[in-house]
Structure 1
Amino acid sequence: MLCQLSINNFAIVRFLELDFKVGMTSITGETGAGKSIAIDALGLCLGNRIDANSVRPGATKAEVSARFVLDDVPLAKRWLEDNDLEMEDDCILRRTISAEGRSRAYINGNPVPVAQLKSLGQLLVGIHGQHAHHAMLKSEHQLTLLDAYANHKMLLDGVSKSYQRTKDIEHNLQQLEQAQHERLARKQLLQYQVEELNEFNLAENEFTEIEQEHKRLANGSELIERCQQTLSLLNDNDDGNVGSLLYQSISIAEGLVDVDPQLSSISDMLNQALIQVQESTSEIESYVSNIELDPQHFEYLDTRLSQAMQLARKHHVSPQTLSAHHLALKTELADLSGDETKLDEIRMQLEQSKAAYAKHALKLSQSRARYAKELNKLVTQSIHELNMPKGQFIIDVAYQAEHISVNGSDKIEFLVTTNPGQPLQPIVKVASGGELSRIGLGIQVITAKKVSTPTLIFDEVDVGISGPTAAVVGKMLRSLGESTQVFCVTHLPQVAGNGHQHMYVNKFNKGGQTETLMTPLSKEQRVNELARLLGGDSITENTLANAKELLH
């Protein structure tokens, strides 16, 4: 429960330190005094968004801290343990806001993201605002109210997890089917490309070979002419050739060896040179004899060379690597076998997941229908007590198997009739503003008894209610306060008188600045405050007597 709230320089509050007790605490004050100021400040500790008026004018920062006793709140204790934020004694939530709008959050002295304040705050405090009954007109909020009353968290978690798994599998299947579509398009392209390259069938290193042969044939006549010139110089020229000159040189050198044996190496080298010339001559003669100036073969080579270069440009590779590219495409085509096995497995998983979801959703729907009947009786009884004696309240739970959502497959609708003889109709079409307030308040009080939140705040939820009905509301909230800490901001004396304790909010001017204070009232002070609520500024003996009767 909330045991202490400290507020510094927040809005029109300079400083407040409030200690709270168990039971129901009534909060009253004059119009415009800021009765909800403490609730707004507490909201900051619970992770609510800040606004431009959070910091008191003239102050550099605002600071709010809330102390909670968690003796009977195991979920909050577990949350703190899971997030390594355990406390030694009480749990302290703190929030600071600078005048520039920067915010910092702390749990038990540890800096945390604001989202963690909100996450923990939901386990500690439940706030019911004066416009909550308007939210009740929306189908999704009606579903939330029913689930809060049923408190079937495990069933909700089962549906949520099953729904998420189904969505994940659907997403995976969609990606695989898209990839399969892309693979099919790629396969069709590869089949065309491979067939084209298969038809051309360029062998490894063939392009280099035909390129060289094409160049040789293109220059065949010049090659023959140059080779004949070389042969003439080496051996065939009668006027003098390399071979005959070498013979003469060898003859002279061998004669010199007889005179000086040291010249024998020169004779050997000249003999070797003659051998090289003779072998070169033989090679050139063989080469010339094998040159065939075949125009048809040249045309074939020219055509194949052109086709290879054209295909290489088409495939954005060099002609030298066209054969390797052809092999790579054939390998990729073989890998794209169009195997549907994995897709079939995913489709089967999806069907199984949908079946599991339907099973969870049906169990949840059955639980909702069971608790709806229970809630129907309680709300109908409550609105009878709230001056609607002929009213009837029904929750219609319609299971729609084709509807798949994270919250299940149910369509929830609150139906009501407020006058005898009228059929049940959706609450949005039937209830007036005052009736809606009473029905909404009844549901809030009933559902609040079922939730594990240790502190509940009702912020002017009794708007539109007066007279005997207000007294019933007060008794409802007091009864709720017997088991749960309840704060009720109200303007009704019949409600305020039911509080186990009472706090008064007062706004005043000090030094040219507005301030707000919240102070606990003694029994005598409570009587005077209830008399003020009953009679306004004119407090008489009768109003005081009436106030004493209202005080519990």
Structure 2
Amino acid sequence: MLRQLALRDFVIVDQLDLSFEQGFTVLTGETGAGKSILIDALALALGERGDAGVVRAGAARAEISADFDAWALPLLQTWLVDNELDDEGNCLLRRVIDNNGRSRCFINGRAVSAQQLREAGEFLVDIHGQHAHQSLLKSATQREILDSYGNASELAAQVAQHYRHWQKLNDALLALQQDSGAIAAEREQLEWKTQDLNALQFDLVDWHALQDEHKRLANAVNLGAGIAFALDALSESESATLSQINVVAVKLLSLLEYDAGLQTAYDLIESAGVQLQEASHDLRRYADQMEADPARLYEIEQRIEQVLDVARKYRVKVETLPELLADVQQRYAELVQSEDSAALAAEVADAHAVWHAAAIKLSEIRQDTATKLADIVSTTMQQLALAGGQFAIALTVLEVGNMHGLEQIEFLVAPHAGISPKPLAKVASGGELSRISLALQTAISQVAGVPTLIFDEVDVGIGGGVAEIVGHLLKGLSSSRQILCITHLPQVAAQGEYHLQVSKVQHENQVVSHIHTLDAVARVDEIARMLGGVTITDTTRQHAREMLS
């Protein structure tokens, strides 16, 4: 469950620290006070996309932290351990967005990607937005709802994956059958290119060694002259350095008899003489072994030119020639395999069989789930001023199937008794659609694995006694889930166990949003405001007390 939410410089919130309890919490406030800011902030903490627009005017960055108790979520605990993010049952999500748009994400104090925030959030929170009923008209949304309720979302994803694999192989088979001449020509070209590259016998290590040898042979004259100069200066001229070092060493050695303090200087000079002597010997050995080899130099230059010619031919860098050969060989192998139409046709058949088997299994689950979900939603509709209404889910068998399975899924509804169910988009008014959406969300939430459910003004278009029933439905969900609900209806707000009020005030030439936890007295005034508007009378207060009791 969500334990705490902290905001810093977010939109019109300067600083906010909220604690939450298990159960049913309602959030209310005047229109425009910023009730949905809380939901927007939590959505960012759960990995949704954000930009610099969420940073409060004049601030350097916005920060959102959401602290969750994860002890009762073994799947989340496993995910945290697998990603090296575990913290003994805690799950602290943090998001920082700078005023230049840069975003940083953290889980339990460790930097993560926005994708990892989203993955963690899927274990923690479901947010039902106030416009969820609009997406309910879309075929894709209806399919996702049915699969989610039947715990078949993973199987549906597998069906789509199998379908794409089957189609990829089938496209390859069709291409082979339709364009075998082009494939044969490409294969012939790849064969020639492979032979050409293999004949080069290029090795990157040998190439670097060859370049070093070329540099040495090409500069043999300069090397010889330089070595001769160094030897002359060190040991072979009349004023050779070694001779002068030895003279100095002998002189200092004679002076040691008078002052032992010269010992360090003597030791250093003697050591320098030894090292210079070794350097002189090493240079002489190098000079003895070094010799100009025009024939070898010519051979190396021919080899370098050969390699460069091949690299220029294929328009690649010399260093990438081995990669080019590997790519050519891989593509050649793919073409050889693809040209075997019988083998490829067998692969296509196998892939189709795998997809079809998974799709049949998905269809069976959908058939069973559609009946159960339709019954639950129909029952809930009776409580939401849709007496006699009926909800149904039609599964229309497709002739060949697709990546989503073997059937087209469509939600049907009869808002009143005496009419047959028809497609949702054709018969439901805005208010009816909102109530049907709430009935669906209630049904789905009962099987949801996440511990926290948030409803953002899903009661739009509802009023009177129906609103009170909506409040009862949400409160009923709170017996097994943590429920947060933003509402404008006093009938719903009165059902809450905890009540947060959102207000907007002017502070230092800026509008700032505040959220307060209401006590029993303040709740009466807030419910009275929601009932009576600007002027709160004793009558509206009394009505508010009756609702709360």
Common fold: TM-score over 0.5: yes
Written as runs of structure 1 = structure 2, the 5 A alignment for 1:33-44 is: 33-44=33-44
Amino acid at match of 1:488: C
Partner Cα distance (2:87, 2:130) in 1: 34
Offset, 1:175:
6.6
Amino acid at match of 2:376: L
Q: Does 1:47 align with 2:47?
A: yes
Amino acid at match of 2:445: A
Partner Cα distance (1:423, 1:501) in 2: 42
The structure 1 residue matched to 2:350, chosen from 345, 349, 352, is: 352
What is residue 383 of structure 1 aligned with on the other side?
381
Residue 357 to residue 187, structure 1, CA distance change in 2 (3 Å): closer
Partner Cα distance (2:337, 2:88) in 1: 61
Residue 340 to residue 459, structure 1, CA distance change in 2 (3 Å): closer
TM-score (normalised: structure 1): 0.70
Q: Say if 1:12 and 1:515, in contact at 8 Å, map to a contact too.
A: yes
Amino acid at match of 1:531: A
What is residue 513 of structure 2 aligned with on the other side?
516
Partner Cα distance (2:442, 2:522) in 1: 28
Partner Cα distance (2:167, 2:81) in 1: 31
Q: Say if 2:129 and 2:457, in contact at 8 Å, map to a contact too.
A: yes
The structure 2 residue matched to 1:374, chosen from 372, 375, 378, is: 372
What is residue 444 of structure 1 aligned with on the other side?
441
Give 3-state SS (helix, strand or coil) of 1:464's partner: coil
Q: Say if 2:130 and 2:457, in contact at 8 Å, map to a contact too.
A: yes
Give 3-state SS (helix, strand or coil) of 1:470's partner: helix
Written as runs of structure 1 = structure 2, the 5 A alignment for 1:412-431 is: 412-431=409-428
Residue 342 to residue 186, structure 1, CA distance change in 2 (3 Å): closer
Q: Say if 2:144 and 2:153, in contact at 8 Å, map to a contact too.
A: no
Written as runs of structure 1 = structure 2, the 5 A alignment for 1:114-193 is: 114-170=114-170, 173=173, 180-185=180-185
What is residue 475 of structure 1 aligned with on the other side?
472
What is residue 279 of structure 1 aligned with on the other side?
none
Offset, 1:89:
3.9
Partner Cα distance (1:127, 1:435) in 2: 21
Give 3-state SS (helix, strand or coil) of 1:403's partner: strand
Partner Cα distance (1:516, 1:115) in 2: 30
Partner Cα distance (2:150, 2:188) in 1: 57
Residue 400 to residue 339, structure 1, CA distance change in 2 (3 Å): closer
Offset, 1:410:
2.0
Written as runs of structure 1 = structure 2, the 5 A alignment for 1:37-436 is: 37-170=37-170, 173=173, 180-185=180-185, 342-405=340-403, 407-436=404-433
Q: Does 1:501 align with 2:498?
A: yes
The one-character-per-residue Cα deviations of 1:311-353 (angstroms, maximum 9, x if unpaired) are xxxxxxxxxxxxxxxxxxxxxxxx9x99988321221121122
Residue 356 to residue 421, structure 1, CA distance change in 2 (3 Å): same
Amino acid at match of 1:520: T
Amino acid at match of 2:27: I
What is residue 535 of structure 1 aligned with on the other side?
532
Give 3-state SS (helix, strand or coil) of 1:409's partner: strand
Give 3-state SS (helix, strand or coil) of 2:362's partner: helix
Residue 112 to residue 546, structure 1, CA distance change in 2 (3 Å): same
Partner Cα distance (1:411, 1:186) in 2: 42
Partner Cα distance (1:112, 1:187) in 2: 45
Partner Cα distance (1:478, 1:512) in 2: 40
Q: Say if 1:365 and 1:399, in contact at 8 Å, map to a contact too.
A: no
Partner Cα distance (1:8, 1:443) in 2: 35
Between 1:391-400 and 1:77-86, the stretch displaced more is 77-86
What is residue 24 of structure 1 aligned with on the other side?
24
Amino acid at match of 2:346: M
The one-character-per-residue Cα deviations of 1:352-374 (angstroms, maximum 9, x if unpaired) are 22122111111111111111111
Q: Say if 1:61 and 1:99, in contact at 8 Å, map to a contact too.
A: yes
Amino acid at match of 2:9: N
Offset, 1:413:
0.6
Between 1:45-54 and 1:178-187, the stretch displaced more is 178-187
RMSD: 2.6
Amino acid at match of 1:354: H
Residue 348 to residue 67, structure 1, CA distance change in 2 (3 Å): same
The structure 2 residue matched to 1:485, chosen from 482, 485, 498, is: 482
The one-character-per-residue Cα deviations of 1:39-88 (angstroms, maximum 9, x if unpaired) are 11111111122234311111111111111111222222222222222223
Partner Cα distance (1:186, 1:502) in 2: 71
Q: Say if 2:25 and 2:499, in contact at 8 Å, map to a contact too.
A: yes
Q: Say if 1:128 and 1:458, in contact at 8 Å, map to a contact too.
A: yes
Partner Cα distance (2:44, 2:165) in 1: 35
Amino acid at match of 1:517: H
* Number of aligned residues: 407
Give 3-state SS (helix, strand or coil) of 1:53's partner: helix
Structure with greater Cα Rg: 1
Q: Say if 2:93 and 2:108, in contact at 8 Å, map to a contact too.
A: yes
Partner Cα distance (2:541, 2:337) in 1: 89
Q: Say if 1:151 and 1:451, in contact at 8 Å, map to a contact too.
A: no
Offset, 1:180:
4.0
Amino acid at match of 2:170: E
Partner Cα distance (1:339, 1:535) in 2: 77
Amino acid at match of 1:532: R
Residue 81 to residue 174, structure 1, CA distance change in 2 (3 Å): farther
Offset, 1:422:
2.3
Q: Say if 1:456 and 1:487, in contact at 8 Å, map to a contact too.
A: yes
Q: Say if 1:129 and 1:460, in contact at 8 Å, map to a contact too.
A: yes
Q: Which runs of 5+ in 2 are unaligned?
A: 190-332
Q: Say if 2:77 and 2:89, in contact at 8 Å, map to a contact too.
A: no
Percent identity between matched residues is: 42
Q: Say if 1:148 and 1:450, in contact at 8 Å, map to a contact too.
A: no
Amino acid at match of 2:115: A
